[in-house]
Amino acid sequence: MTFDPLATLHPKSKHWIVCVRVSRKWEYRGGTDDGPIAHIDLVLADEKGDAIYAEIPSSEVDVISPLIEEGGIYIISRFRVSRAKSLYRPIDAPYMIEFTCYTKVYPAKNLPETFPRYVYNLTPFAELPKYAGENKYFLDVLGIISEVSDTTLLQLPNQSAATLNRNIILKDLSNVEIKLTLWGQRAAEFTIDEVYNEEQGKPIVVLIVGNLMKSFAGEEYLSGNTACRWYFNPAIPEAEEFYNSTHNQRLTIKRTAAPPHQTARLQGSLQLEDKHLLDLETMDPYDFPEGGCRCTVTITRLILTTPWWFPSCNRCNRACTPSGDGYKCNTCSCTGYRFKYKLSFIANDGTAEAEMIAFREVARRIVGKPVQQVLRLARFANDTPPPDIAAIVSLKFAFAVALTEQSYYNPKRTYQITSIVASYGRQHTVPHIKLNQPKQLPICQTADPIL
């Protein structure tokens, strides 16, 4: 079969067939780690080394995304070629690929491993400042790691909860330094433990792609979020000069610890004891950890017998009851109220299923929209859950949970979600509880793709 080189693609034709490696794949959630997926972004490279940006829209994520893995080589057809975006471009190319409901994807077989592993366009450290705040291109850099900080928590204006971040200091061959700040999941994933031995002290050269240049309070720095990837000691020509200049040299990488109050806060949310639901369901309630625990579950169905919202007292935050044309708090007699979330659902982790409940801000992060916005779109608040509420089914999270007070009086337990530790997005299979031989039940079936 003959494939079209990426360099020849243009919008005037619709009958392209390409064979490409997926160099990078990431989710764009509108600037947050836990919002709904707006689209999935890809960097694709063909055998000649040319690259292009591609986008899977939210409407096609459930069908197409499971067919594509980062690093895989695929034959893709029936897509649209359009002009590249003007901002946040990982590739300096005039066109991009748009996946549609008609796009066909299947793995390529029996092909030589000559497709490039890395797709990059290096920017020298001295030129980085001119891109500060521009947000037109994602930037790629190559340097030596000289310092790595622990993760810390930082409250950002566009985030409802504090976000993980980690700082890394890079040096070029002229000893020019640049700070890279990783955010969210990227901050949690970054580690040099597997490639750095303190006793040997061998320098680590790192290629980091998909960064934006930022400026804050007079300081210019690189920012790495979901689009960011890194490769330690890459086998690329530009790295050879770094390897030659550091040959037989010893470099101590400075480790910067998080402030004590930050460490305690992280331990409270990220370092809780992991428990399976089966462990929690069979545990004596009086043995439940006082600080709560962490469990990773998939939301499998909603509990439709309870409303997904409630009127909350402005003064004491308790639930209000109907009074005349409005609501009134029976505790403090306040008539001021705001609608807030009260999500009840069944979650499953493959060992058991359990009832969980989430209120207010935690529930908002699960849904991804303010309750007032969802209420405006719902015909009747007590009617069938609106699409935004129904859409939480099949989402997977790591939750910090506590046992509700009623669970001490009732054999049927309910776990209140106190915080979201991690979000894993929509799952295409749900855990099936079978103790002897765990299996996966598909949420949706997808036919084998054909050209």
Residues 40-90 pLDDT 10s:
999 999 999 999 999 999 999 989 999 999 999 999 999 999 999 999 999
388 assigned to some structural domain: yes
450 assigned to some structural domain: no
How many domains does the chain contain in total?
3
Is the pLDDT assigned to residue 381 strictly greater than 50? Answer: no
SS (H, E, C) the chain: CCCCCHHHCCCCCCCCEEEEEEEEEEEECCCCCCCCCCEEEEEEECCCCCEEEEEEEHHHHHHHHHHCCCCCEEEEECCEEEECCCCCECCCCCEEEECCCCCEEEECCCCCCCCCCCCCCECCHHHHHHHCCCCCECEEEEEEEEEEECCEEECCCCCCCCEEEEEEEEECCCCCEEEEEEEHHHHHHCCCCCCCCCCCCCCCEEEEEEEEEEEECCEEEEEEEEEEEEEECCCCHHHHHHHHHCCCCCCCCEEECCCHHHHHHHHHHHCCCECCHHHHHHCCHHHCCCCCEEEEEEEEEECCCCCCEEEEECCCCCECEEECCEEECCCCCCCCEEEEEEEEEEEECCCCEEEEEEEHHHHHHHHCCCHHHHHHHCCCCCCCCCHHHHCCCCEEEEEEEEECHHHHCCCCCEEEEEEEEEEEEECCEEEECCCCCCEEEECCCCCCCCC
277 and 248 part of one domain:
no
Is the full-model pTM beyond 0.75?
Answer: no
pLDDT at 158: 56
158 assigned to some structural domain: yes
Given 107, 133, 151, which residue is the final one in a domain?
A: 107
211 and 313 part of one domain:
no
176 and 222 part of one domain:
yes
384 and 435 part of one domain:
yes
Burial of residue 362 (number of CB atoms within 10 Å: 0-12, 13-18, 19+): buried
115 assigned to some structural domain: no
pLDDT at 59: 93
pLDDT at 264: 46
266 assigned to some structural domain: no
pLDDT at 291: 79
Range ranked top by mean pLDDT from 116-125, 153-162, 315-324: 116-125
What's the mean pLDDT in 212-216?
A: 91
265 assigned to some structural domain: no
76 assigned to some structural domain: yes
361 and 316 part of one domain:
yes
Which residues constitute the domain of residue 71? Answer: 6-107
393 and 250 part of one domain:
no
Q: How would residue 448 be classed by pLDDT, with cut points 50, 70 and 90?
A: very low
Residues 86-121 pLDDT 10s:
999 999 999 999 999 999 999 998 877 789 999 999
Q: What's 97's domain CATH number?
A: 2.40.50.140
298 and 174 part of one domain:
no
Given 232, 258, 284, which residue is the final one in a domain?
A: 258
